[in-house]
């Protein structure tokens, strides 16, 4: 991963010939921050957590979903994750296996217990909403450094804390966004706020992180993530709980066969 990052920095540096120096420094600085943040997240091995999703529409009606998530760190590529759906009852036992990749589209399989089959999600176009929520799959999947290019904007306090503010631009052409503006605290490199701009570069959504807690004296995880869609007036809250690290998960827990026994 380090080698790749160095390569990327070098690649970005090459464009210095054609563009103003300032912009390049901003690009470098943005990437540096992203790389540092990624570095601080590395080394967790594996973890599990429970997730409660609360969806709310403009009419004020609410609906909830419950999931469990298992994650495995992969050296040299994106992480693997297994998401098990517990509620609503109709999709209980449904499980989603994802292999994120640093480049190219991720691999996904879904196990449908009612059909007793594993189906590969054969779409190169997965920027739609996750379970009808305001989170797109691309918002909650493993945020690999290589999925974006970066540009540092400014330092700015948020709620009295010093932040880096930088923009990132999705590499994937099929992404629903032109850019995202990220507020990241300078002490611990934790995302605190992300503002999403849609394909026509209009303000689309704001995601705020809260209730950060530290695990294994090293890894910060947010307890709550609130996404508000400014265009439709809908919102979704993700509440994370029961984080557990070092649970002894291995590759065998993240293959197609594991999907069926995931419950």
Partner 1 sequence: MVETIATAILRGRYLWVLLTVMFVVWAAMGGRNLTLTTDYRVFFSEENPQLTAFEALQNTYTNNDNVLIVLAPKNHKVFTRKTLAAVEAITEEAWQVPFSIRVDSLTNYQHTVAEEDDLVVGDLVVDGANLMDSSLQRIKNIALHEPLLVNRLISPSGEVTGINITIQTPGIDQTTEVPSVVAYARDMVKKYQDIYPHLDFYITGTVMMNNAFPEASKHDMRTLVPLMFLVVFVALWFLLRSLTGIIATLLVVAFSIATAMGLAGWIGIRMTPPVGSAPTIVLTLAVAHCVHLLVALMHNMTKGMDKRAAMFEALRVNFQPIALTSLTTTVGFLSMNFSDAPPFRDLGNIVAMGVIAAWVYSFVFMPALVMILPIRTHANQETASKWMSSLGEFVLNNRRMLFWGNLALLVVLAFSITRNELNDQFVEYFDDSIEFRRATDFVTDNLTGIYTIDYSLKTGGSGSINEPEQLQVIENFANWYREQPEVIHVNVITDIIKRLNMNLHGDDRSWYRIPESRELAAQYFLLYEMSLPYGLDLNNQIDIDKSASRMTVTVNNLTTNELLLVEARAREWLEANAPAHMHTVGASPAIMFAHITSRNIRSMLKGNAMAMVLISFMLIFAFRSIKFGLLSLVPNLMPAIMAFGLWGLLVGEVGVSLSVVVAMTLGIVVDDTIHFMSKYLRARREQGLSAEDAIRAAFSSVGVALIMTSIVLIAGFAVLALSSFKMNAGMGLLTAITIALALFADFLFLPPLLLKIKGKV
Residues near partner 1 (CB under 8 A): 55-59, 61-63, 85, 88-91, 94, 96, 108, 110, 112-115, 117-132, 136-137, 174-176, 198-200, 202, 230-234
Nearest approach, Cβ of residue 256 and partner 1 (Å): 10
Backbone dihedral region of 243: left (phi > 0), alpha (psi from -120 to 50 degrees) or beta?
Answer: beta
State which residue, 108 or 143, has the beta carbon closest to partner 1: 108
Min. distance of Cβ 23 from partner 1 in angstroms?
A: 24
**Are residues 40 and 212 in contact, defined by beta-carbon separation less than 8 angstroms?**
no
Nearer to partner 1, 23 or 203 (CB): 203
Q: State in angstroms the smallest separation of the CB of 5 from partner 1.
A: 28
Q: Give the residue with the Cβ less far from partner 1, 27 or 100.
A: 100
* Continuous segment of H or E residues that includes residue 240: strand 235-245
- Calpha distance 186→244 (Å, rounded): 26
Which has the closest alpha carbon to 41: 171, 189, 262, 154?
189
CB nearer partner 1, residue 174 or residue 218: 174
Give the whole-angstrom CA distance, residue 193 versus residue 176.
Answer: 18
For the CB of residue 50, give the shortest distance to partner 1 in the complex, in Å: 19
Specify the residue, 137 or 183, whose C-beta has the smaller distance to partner 1: 137
Strand order in the sheet with 80-87: 107-112, 95-99, 80-87, 62-72, 46-56, 235-245, 224-229, 203-210, 191-198, 177-185, 161-170, 148-158
Q: Cβ of residue 36: shortest distance to partner 1, in angstroms?
A: 30
């Amino acid at each position: 991963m380090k080698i790749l990052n160095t390569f990327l920095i070098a690649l970005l540096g090459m464009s210095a010939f054609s563009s103003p120096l300032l912009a390049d420094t901003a690009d470098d600085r943005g990437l540096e921050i992203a790389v540092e943040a990624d570095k601080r997240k590395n080394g967790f091995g594996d973890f599990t957590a429970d997730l409660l999703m609360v969806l709310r529409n403009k009419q004020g009606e609410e609906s909830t979903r419950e999931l469990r998530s298992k994650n495995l760190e992969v050296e040299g590529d994106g992480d693997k994750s297994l998401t098990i759906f517990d509620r609503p009852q109709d999709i209980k036992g449904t499980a989603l296996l994802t292999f994120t990749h640093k480049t190219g589209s991720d691999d996904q399989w879904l196990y449908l217990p009612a059909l007793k089959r594993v189906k590969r999600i054969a779409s190169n176009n997965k920027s739609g909403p996750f379970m009808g929520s305001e989170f797109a799959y691309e918002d909650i999947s493993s945020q690999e450094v290589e999925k974006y290019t970066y540009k540092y904007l400014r330092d700015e306090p948020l709620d009295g804390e010093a932040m880096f503010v930088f923009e990132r631009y999705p590499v994937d052409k099929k992404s629903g966004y032109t850019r995202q503006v990220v507020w990241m605290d300078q002490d611990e490199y934790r995302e605190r706020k992300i503002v999403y701009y849609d394909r026509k570069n209009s303000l689309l959504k704001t995601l705020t992180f809260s209730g950060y807690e530290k695990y294994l004296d090293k890894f910060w995880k947010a307890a709550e993530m609130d996404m508000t869609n400014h265009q439709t007036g809908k919102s979704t809250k993700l509440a994370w709980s029961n984080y557990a690290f070092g649970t002894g998960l291995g590759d065998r827990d993240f293959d197609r066969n594991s999907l069926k026994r995931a419950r």
